[in-house]
Homo-oligomer: A and B are copies of this chain.
Amino acid sequence: MRTVAVELAHAPYQIQIASGLLKDASLIAACLPQARVAIVTNQTVAALYLEDLQQALESSGIRTLRIVLPDGEQYKNWETLNQILDALLEHRCERKTTLIALGGGVVGDMTGFAAAIYQRGMPFIQVPTTLLAQVDSSVGGKTAINHPLGKNMIGAFYQPRLVLADLDTLQTLPAREYSAGLAEVIKYGLIDDLPFFEWLERNMAALMRRDMEALAYAVERSCQNKARIVAADEREEGVRALLNLGHTFGHAIEAGLGYGVWLHGEAIAAGMVLAAKASALLGKLRADEVARIELLLQRADLPTTAPELGFARWMELMAQDKKVLDGRIRFVLMDCLGQSELAYLDEAQLRELLH
């Protein structure tokens, strides 16, 4: 088992990475304040893994409630959130009952947010079953739902007590979702870990075969990167903003096409290429470096060209993003290959980039 510590002063916790974790209740049992949990998952994941997890818990004497949501980013809204809260209230779950998120980023974000606001906060545990959730969304305590006027606009910073990344679950992941997760893995290399970017260039073939050794290393290294950044800046007042590399463009793509048409990771891949091209425009990146980024994303079966949204729509969508300060749009761009930084683009530069 590989363990990554998230060193938050008030609420440190561990990410455990290994095969077979779903069938072993001991790590979960050790951190429950009450022998009772509610497992939130979606229909797709329920069919694959809910039975295993529930059996493991029940046979350790832990009372479990199942809450099964519909599957898809389009359900990351008030209505589905209320399904969770209603179920908790109907079954009289208490504030020491623990909520377990079993699924991908959508399940994790909504479950974490439900835990943050149910009776003003109950404990929760992340059991991410997608690559994207294992390397990104399950770590760091960002929880949220979408609003018709913007993605992740309503939410809370709320940390899990434990993250269990069972590598076995990645073997059943559809190819498209697996690739979407690789977009966030590649992102860590571009933020500030050039050696990892180069490792990914050497090992992309193994990762695309879902080789267990390569996967374990990629998940661990990604979590280490994320944990370090989150521990330095839990509330995104500084360096944590770098985790949004590709996200201002990416969120506009997701919202512009309608949530769920492109997967989050796909939009982030195209968004990172736009960020690379913007960095080239500013003279920070050479054309061959932009090409290396595009090639690595393409080898991960990810899109590298953003859809046509029209300039006015791009601007409207990006102005809605949370990374707006006093009316200017802030981007994460690259200072050189393997090192990102905050930067602002003016309208002429954006016009050149997006046309």
Contacts and interface: CB of A to CB of B under 8 A. Distances in A.
Interface of A: 10, 34, 78, 82, 85-86, 89-90, 92, 94-96, 113, 116-121, 142-144, 147, 149-150, 152-157, 235, 319-320, 322, 324-326
A112 B154 CA distance: 14
B147 A89 contact: yes
B155 A120 contact: yes
Contacts of A113: 117
A120 B116 CA distance: 11
Contacts of A117: 113, 117, 154-156
Contacts of A324: 92, 94
Interface of A is mostly: mixed
A141 to B, nearest CB: 9
A326 B92 CA distance: 11
Nearest to A235: B121
Nearest to A155: B120
Given A34-B326, A117-B117, A120-B144, A319 B153 contact: no
How many copies of the chain does the oligomer comprise?
Answer: 2
A261 B156 CA distance: 33
A118 B150 CA distance: 11
Among A117, A120, A157, A235: residue with most chain B CB under 10 A? A120
Given A89-B149, A95-B322, 4 more contacts: A85-B147, A92-B324, A118-B153, A120-B144
Contacts of A142: 120
Contacts of A118: 153-154
B96 A157 contact: no
A329 to B, nearest CB: 11
B121 A153 contact: no
A130 B330 CA distance: 41
B320 A92 contact: yes
Nearest to A119: B322
Contact of A121 (B10, B34, B78, B157): B157
Given A119-B153, A120-B142, A157-B120, A319 B89 contact: no
A156 B89 contact: no
A-B pairs, top 5 by smallest CB distance, nearest first, are A89-B149, A120-B155, A119-B322, A117-B154, A120-B157
A127 B58 CA distance: 49
Given A120-B156, A154-B117, A78 B82 contact: yes
Contacts of A149: 86, 89-90
A122 to B, nearest CB: 10
Contacts of A78: 78, 82
B120 A325 contact: no
16 contacts: A10-B10, A78-B82, A85-B147, A85-B154, A89-B147, A89-B150, A90-B149, A96-B325, A116-B156, A117-B117, A117-B154, A117-B155, A119-B153, A120-B155, A120-B157, A121-B156
A149 B96 CA distance: 18
Contacts of A147: 85, 89
